[in-house]
Amino acid sequence: MKTAQECKLFGAYQALAGIEDAVVLLHSVVGCNFGTLSFHVPNRMQDIRQACTVISDNEIINGGEKSLKLALDSMLELYKPTAIFVISGCVSEMIGDDIQAVIEPYSQDQCIIRYVESAGFRGDFCDGYEHALLSLADLMEPYKVSAKPVINILGVSTDDYRAAADKKELQKLLGDQAELGTVFSQCTLDEVRKAPCAGLNLVLGHGIDLAREMKYRFGIPYELIDYPFGIEGLKEICEIFDRRFNINFSEDLARIKNEISLGLEPIYTYLQACYGMPAAVIGRDARAKGLRRFLEKELGMEVVRFARREEVGDLEEFYMTVRNSEVAVLFGSSFEQDLADELKIPLVRFDYPIFDEVCITGRSFIGTSGVLCLIEDILNAVMRNRVLKGALY
């Protein structure tokens, strides 16, 4: 059996490690630190703000509270952070460390220290993500809603593929008419604090618990949308702005459409080969659904195998259904490479975790350039493939 999702600790890490002036302390064994780092490093090597108490035999027997205190002291001295998120793991929760009691005495300090329970045996990636993101609600302060419409984005993970570039594209789209508020969690602690000044929370699949909480505490409405891949994705966001704030983006949308068709002109014949090409998509909720919409509605591909990671019990079962299909191109994470190799089909990476690729050019996957980049990646992956499954040439 292969699990389709990482454990609760990874979810919590993905929810919190992206808060730029905070640091994450994993109160767990070294493997958890190694694992989270190995997914993080290819994405943001210059930005490592995490440490681990490296629980071993001695802590398991005698308790890990001393080590936790030691680690907190060292982190305060070395990083001088505005906040530390203490993420527990299976081992510290099993041996019963009283983490809250250890961090309590630090509450007088300038630095905010929060404990986020994340034992792997108590939940999966989604549980960890939701629970950790929700814990940020306590840091928020009531702000008066600003004059210009502001929207927050919820559901972006620290190491989400191309998320930083996508954020910039979104900002570009909104132009002067609206403002991108806090992107959870690629933001600063101050932005977290000020998140209640937004007029709307856009939830990209995950982060729904925090969205509900913010609605309850600050009256901020939320909308659940798929990841805005392609023109359809942007259209959905524009419609929301129209409906909620009476802002019309139709001109911008038309311009983007035009730019995209101009950009695609030189490769038009290749694009035709995408029609009816059988594809398989596996990814987390909003990303998987958003990509499927793009592939089917805009490229005319046929997504014959589809899975939301959250729903997959045994990854092998999904892989088996892909094996028993005509799939010519696979969309997924780095973990799907073995299957792609086995089936001799190309893999297009689009969803966390991606750890076998770097990106320094800031290519996004949404907006004008994003759509072009994504199509470029798909075509190149198919064309590079040694077996003619894609039937492109």
Residues that bind another protein (CB under 8 A): 57, 59-65, 94-98
CB-based contact 81:21 (threshold 8 Å): yes
CB-based contact 53:67 (threshold 8 Å): yes
CB of 65 to another protein, least distance (A): 6
CB of 109 to another protein, least distance (A): 23
Question: End-to-end distance of the chain based on CA atoms, in angstroms?
Answer: 37
93 vs 191, which CB is nearer to another protein? 93
CB of 72 to another protein, least distance (A): 16
Local structure of 179: helix, strand or coil = strand
The token pair that represents 44 in the structure block: 């943001």
30 vs 254, which CB is nearer to another protein? 30
48 vs 94, which CB is nearer to another protein? 94
CB of 185 to another protein, least distance (A): 31
23: nearest Cα among 189, 207, 206, 192: 189
Cross-strand partners of 154: 184, 203
CB of 105 to another protein, least distance (A): 16
Alpha-carbon distance 176 to 161, whole Å?
Answer: 27
Cross-strand partners of 280: 305, 330
Radius of gyration for the alpha carbons in the chain, expressed in angstroms and rounded: 22
67 vs 135, which CB is nearer to another protein? 67
94 vs 383, which CB is nearer to another protein? 94
CB-based contact 48:24 (threshold 8 Å): no
For residue 350, what is the enclosing H or E element? none
Residue at 278: amino acid letter: P
32 vs 192, which CB is nearer to another protein? 32
97 vs 213, which CB is nearer to another protein? 97
CB of 54 to another protein, least distance (A): 16
CB of 56 to another protein, least distance (A): 11
**Phi, then psi, of 297 in degrees rounded to 5:** -80, -30
Count the Cβ atoms, other than its own, within 10 Å of residue 302. 17
382: nearest Cα among 310, 329, 303, 344: 329
CB of 53 to another protein, least distance (A): 13
CB of 71 to another protein, least distance (A): 16
Alpha-carbon distance 14 to 215, whole Å?
Answer: 23
Helices (H), the chain: 8-16, 30-40, 57-62, 65-79, 90-94, 99-103, 125-134, 163-174, 189-194, 208-218, 230-245, 250-264, 268-272, 285-293, 315-323, 337-343, 367-384
CB of 385 to another protein, least distance (A): 50
64 vs 89, which CB is nearer to another protein? 64
Q: What CA–CA distances, in Å, run from 118 to 13, 122, 127?
A: 9, 7, 9
Q: Looking up tokens 């060292």, which residue turns up? A: 74
